[in-house]
Amino acid sequence: MSFHACALFAGQSVQETGMGVELLKNPAARAVIERLKPSLGADLETLLTTMPEEPLALTFNAQRAIHASHVAHWLAYEAAHPGLELDGAIGHSMGVVAALVAAGALSVEDSGRFIAARAKAFSDCCADFTEPMGLAAASADDFQDVADSVSEVPGVTVALWNTRTKGTLGGTVAALEAYAAKAAAEDWPVKVKVLKVEGPYHTAAFAPARAALAATLAALELKAPKVPVFMGTSGKAETEPARIKELLAEQTVACERHLDAVLAAHEHGCRTFVEVSFKPQPVTWLNDQLEPGSYTALAVPTADIGA
């Protein structure tokens, strides 16, 4: 039976110990993991099964594990559902690379090569920070109010704009704590929680990674996707390979406009959104992005890949 859907892929932060234990029991998924080992490392299976939470959360490990999980989940699901017809694909932050695989723009192998370079470049940036830096989750009745308020505290910028009410701020930990303290002291209608991460992804702090990723992309084949890929870097549907490569490099420093990407997909005509994952995340945000009743959300856990 055929059905149409727009694929969703999460970004960094969904990693957890044992995330691939059940996935590796699926022959189609295991075959994908084997294809990724040459690029993502001989320790890939360890990352997916037994690595403890603390080292797994490190940028270099988390990005490799999450990407392998994304691609293996999706291709196994696709193999089990030959009637599936994609309308588009959306990847939150690093998840856009898996979205490009789903859309036929990147091979499994080249996606692994890019994620390996991305994970190293991001990790190298984190190692070079001269003071603690990070992210803070922020929410308000309208996230635009949060975006308007960041100018009140030097060193804080909007890093990710996820939904109508939620997003993430980036900067030095001192600046983020100062923002949270000012919001509390002045009774702003904003909730802020400083996160335990290595750095402020999608901000100018990751500028050194941009050139390295551009160089890696120049050596990879990226085809025109079979369906639009809605990218958070632009907040739009993207179909031109050269433009997509530019955005993949720019993503290092650009605010991730995930809300705009979802709105663009809906405007394009996407009505069913599916996320296949051990821990579905962006599919759970749809009610805070789209009008209830205007879409269908499918969260497919590992155990239901073949259902």
- What structural domains does the chain harbor? 3-128+204-304 (3.40.366.10), 133-194 (3.30.70.250)
Whether the model clears a pTM of 0.95, i.e. scores above it, the answer is yes
In contact, 198 and 172? CB cutoff 8 Å: no
pLDDT at 1 over 80: no
Give the pLDDT mean for 280-293.
Answer: 97
Give the pLDDT mean for 59-79.
Answer: 98
2 pLDDT band, cuts 50/70/90, is: confident
pLDDT one-digit tens code per residue, 256-274? 999 999 999 999 999 999 9
51 pLDDT band, cuts 50/70/90, is: very high
pLDDT of residue 57: 96
| Pairing label, strands 272-276, 296-300 | parallel
Give the pLDDT mean for 24-43.
Answer: 98
pLDDT one-digit tens code per residue, 99-117? 999 999 999 999 999 999 9
249 pLDDT band, cuts 50/70/90, is: very high
pLDDT of residue 165: 98
pLDDT of residue 307: 81
Q: What percent of the chain has pLDDT over 70?
A: 100
